[in-house]
Structure 1
Amino acid sequence: MGLTVESRPSDSPYVERVWRSRSHDDVSRMTSVATTLCELVVWEHRGRVNVAVRGPESRASEAEVPTDSTFFGISFSLGTSLPHLPADRLVDGAVELPDATAVSFPLHGSTWRMPDFDNAEFFVRRLVREGVLVRDPFVAAVLDGAEPEVSERTLQRRFLAATGLTRGAVRQIDRARRAALLIQEGEPAVEVVHHLGYFDQPHLARSLTRYVGRTATQLRRPGGVAPAPAPEPLSLLYKTGEAAPA
């Protein structure tokens, strides 16, 4: 069975997605797909509860999965961050929050009641109200196509501070995730190249390998399963807006 995953979008401007999953005894590793987002992750294994803030992931990587465990996560929208844990210091890493229990955990000098899949937005509103979570409207404006009246250097610095990544990296990661979904849905690679603005199929192949950890052939098979050996399950992929060519 591997990993069973459930997720939902959010109407909060601070939240991209809320998800939960469960691991089974037939999986011990997974492929973590590159992502542009920071997230709060809670997992329980053998009665112990753990909480961590994870940063963006600049490329696909392998991750260990404790068997028979439950997971819950809040993926924050791009440009949303915890100021005391700067996004640029979290890239390809995480900060575990000690002394978590089934009902609460410490964060930024206070004890917070443990959120869950259904009340994540209420929890996030409290973080925002207390100034623990912030969202840079500059990033949202840039993503919507606005061209702020600042120098390119200032724009890049502001974007990097808010997201931990450059605008180019965000475009490339989001485009690869979109390409993976299109291929899983059966769209031919040559059409994906044209649709998402890759130079050619080798360019697409390099992008998928770097950011998704799969080839187009592996993604096209049901569940992304190759003949042998079967690769580990993938982390969460979901539809967002169209990725811009980079």
Structure 2
Amino acid sequence: MPHPTFPPVRSRPPAGTGPEGTDHRERPAPAVGGTLWTRPPRPVPGTARILPDGCMDLLWSEGRLLVAGPDTRAHLAHDPPGRDWLGLRFPPGTAPLVLGVPAVELRDVRVPLTELWSAAEVRELEDRLARVAVPGAVLEEHAAARLRAAPPLDPRLRAVVRAAARPGLRVAALAERLGLGERRLHRHCLAAFGYGPRMLHRVLRMRRALALIDAGRAPAEAAHTVGCADQPHLSREVRTLAGVPSRELRRTGP
């Protein structure tokens, strides 16, 4: 029986100073409910602005496996020429089950996978990835095996993701509906997502607003749709979480 996963979160290619946006490719990774993505080598150095999305990634580049934890702010990735990337993006809450550590321990950091798994397991997986023609399938398969061996997901956390993705999150009401106190709910969220439900709500709200703007909606309309008080409220949130105004993301993005 497949291991249940959280609803997938739609991604947005990274904004950057190089040509990586048009080369960023994604496909579903159904075995973990996530996304496999690739970015081929570039001829010149570049910087990608990776925006918070509530997710965590298992990364493969230059023969090494890394983990990107949940971000509370934009992460600037500086790449030399010739470096390619393969990533397995887990939906909110899934990665801790695969990695075996609470998400909060990885908040806003990138760490070698050897800090989380045994050196032998990581070395064997890295060797397999280096030998095969389609390393994404191997990475997904290995993560799925770990997910199947993990304890089942708490359905209350799936409810948190659904609530956080909608406008007008009320944490006290959510905690009561789930039969948890607010502090206990916060602790569960730290372990699963790396931050509390309010922060998850802010991140998912920003991502949805940017997706609407990318699709041609006016910023004021996008702000209203996602539950911001007004367009200035959305602008402040984007600047806080992305580090630049939304117009700058549109200018530098793909």
TM-score by length of 1: 0.75
Question: Are 2:102 and 2:191, in contact at CA under 8 Å, matched by a contact in 1?
Answer: yes
Alpha-carbon deviations, 1:159-216, whole Å to 9, x = none? Answer: 1111111111111111111111211222111111111111111111111112234423
User: Paired residue for 2:26, among 4, 7, 15?
Assistant: 7
How far apart, CA to CA, are the structure 1 residues paired with 2:39 and 2:238?
A: 24
Q: How many aligned positions are there? A: 212
User: Paired residue for 1:91, among 100, 107, 112?
Assistant: 107
The percentage of aligned residue pairs carrying the same residue is: 26
Query: 2:236 is paired with a residue of what secondary structure?
Result: helix
How far apart, CA to CA, are the structure 2 residues paired with 1:212 and 1:122?
A: 32
Structure holding more strand per residue: 1
Query: 1:20 is paired with a residue of what secondary structure?
Result: strand
The answer on 1:194 being equivalent to 2:212 is no
Query: Cα offset for 1:218?
Result: 3.1
Segments of 4+ moved more than 6 angstroms: none
C-alpha distance 153-11 of structure 1, shift in aligned 2 (>3 A):
same
RMSD: 2.6
The answer on 1:24 being equivalent to 2:42 is yes
Alpha-carbon deviations, 1:6-58, whole Å to 9, x = none? Answer: 0123333x3321111124123421211112112100012xxxx1211110010
How far apart, CA to CA, are the structure 2 residues paired with 1:130 and 1:193?
A: 41
The answer on 1:163 being equivalent to 2:177 is no
Query: 1:117 is paired with a residue of what secondary structure?
Result: helix
1:151 corresponds to which residue?
Answer: 181
Unpaired stretches in structure 1, ≥5 consecutive residues: 99-105, 226-230, 235-246
Structure holding more helix per residue: 2
The answer on 1:107 being equivalent to 2:121 is no
Question: Are 2:50 and 2:74, in contact at CA under 8 Å, matched by a contact in 1?
Answer: yes
* Bigger Cα displacement from structure 2, 189-198 vs 122-131: 122-131
TM-score by length of 2: 0.73
* Bigger Cα displacement from structure 2, 115-124 vs 30-39: 115-124
Unpaired stretches in structure 2, ≥5 consecutive residues: 1-17, 164-173
